Copies of this chain bind each other. A is one copy, B any other.
Amino acid sequence: MIIKYETLYNTFKEILISRKLSEDRANILAKIFADNTLDGVLSHGVNRFPRFISYIDKGEIDIDIVPETTFIFNGMVRMDGKRGIGPINAYIAMEKACELAKIYGISIVALANTNHWMRGGTYGYLACENNLIGICFSNTTANMVAYNASEPKLGNNPLVIGIPRENKAHVVLDFAISQYSYGKVAQTNLEEKKLDVPGGYDTKGNITNDPAEIIKSGCLLPIGYWKGSGLSLVLDLMATVLTAGNSVAKIKSFGDEVGLSQIFIAIDPNKANTKDMTNKLIDDVLSDFSSAKPFEGKRVSYPGENTIKRREANKASGVEIVDSVWDEIMALKKEH
């Protein structure tokens, strides 16, 4: 089924309003879920929306919770997310970081006790739309092993870095520290294929690209092996210390992946530069990067480049959505 962006947005908003969300909150959430869908991230867009609503319908999430500022010192803020709606908390935190970066040049908001932010890229794009560099990361439950370890003690702690461009073709890096998600490994196994690159250990500790072996061991590896292992750990340390919130280990002890710690940093590149300078510096780097000769049959692309292409194509012609998913969403409309 092909659905236009406006229909997605309006439908999400109508359903959210029917669940008693305020107009403001419904606007933000409908935009996040519709934008993620438009960008081709359906797993954190339309496909995820029914589960999001089911948490509200079961009363598992208090829709009115507003993160509380528990500490502020110049461009440094700590907030308690009070286990409120993850994307709303993260949106508010990055907005605050943007506001403060415009005042101080650089800012940091540490958000404790929050929930899954859906797609991290959302908050990178939010900083970019404010003409700011945005850096954010979240910890997660323990879902990845350290290099040499046979049991998962690390989170795949997604890391986002957004670089704003005047033409809106922002460079937004958005990745988890595991080489592959568990979902990708499971899907590749179902398709009886091998992973393109090694993704985990087998049960004996050999590095493998066989998804069946990785599922058996439960050992997803970080990017760069020992390097990503260290990166995941220091992201968790920063998130935990700066929020005084929950670490990966603590979150794992909760069973459900809740009460996360997230960091939002914003930097204003146009305090010292004119906008034209910033744009030229970025354009020159990207133009050199894109001039790299690819291997035969391959393409070289910068983070966010394919997203923009998908976004534009989907905006023009609508997004292809699985019929049963859209039926589910239509049912959510009728339920209220």
Residue ranges of A at the interface with B (Cβ–Cβ < 8 Å): 70-71, 73-76, 78, 103-108, 110, 133, 145-151, 153-154, 161, 163, 171, 173, 175, 179, 196-198, 201, 204-205, 207, 223-225, 227-228, 230-231, 233-234, 236-238, 240-242, 244, 247-250, 265, 267-269, 271-273, 277-278, 281-282, 284-285, 288-289, 291-296, 298-300, 302-303
Contacts and interface: CB of A to CB of B under 8 A. Distances in A.
- Identify the 5 closest CB pairs spanning chains A and B, nearest first: A223-B224, A205-B295, A76-B105, A249-B288, A148-B298
Contact of A278 (B227, B241, B298): B241
A278 B243 CA distance: 10
Binding site of A, secondary structure by majority: helix, strand, loop or mixed?
mixed
A285 B237 contact: yes
Contacts of A207: 197
A161 B232 CA distance: 11
Contact of A233 (B223, B240, B299, B303): B303
A133 B242 CA distance: 10
B198 A298 contact: no
A17 to B, nearest CB: 37
Contact of A75 (B74, B179, B247, B293): B74
A302 B75 CA distance: 30
A244 B295 contact: no
B150 A73 contact: no
A300 B148 contact: yes
A35 B122 CA distance: 42
Contact of A224 (B154, B228, B284): B228
A70 B273 CA distance: 11
Given A71-B272, A73-B105, A108-B267, A247 B284 contact: yes
A205 B296 CA distance: 8
A73 B271 contact: yes
B282 A146 contact: no
Contacts of A147: 300
Given A241-B273, A249-B284, A285-B249, A230 B149 contact: no
Contact of A238 (B163, B175, B223, B284): B163
A292 B201 CA distance: 15
Nearest to A294: B148
Nearest to A273: B244
A104 to B, nearest CB: 5
A161 B242 CA distance: 14
A138 to B, nearest CB: 15
A303 B295 CA distance: 35
Contacts of A179: 224-225, 227
14 contacts: A73-B104, A76-B106, A106-B108, A133-B241, A147-B300, A148-B295, A150-B292, A171-B237, A175-B224, A223-B223, A233-B303, A234-B303, A241-B269, A244-B277
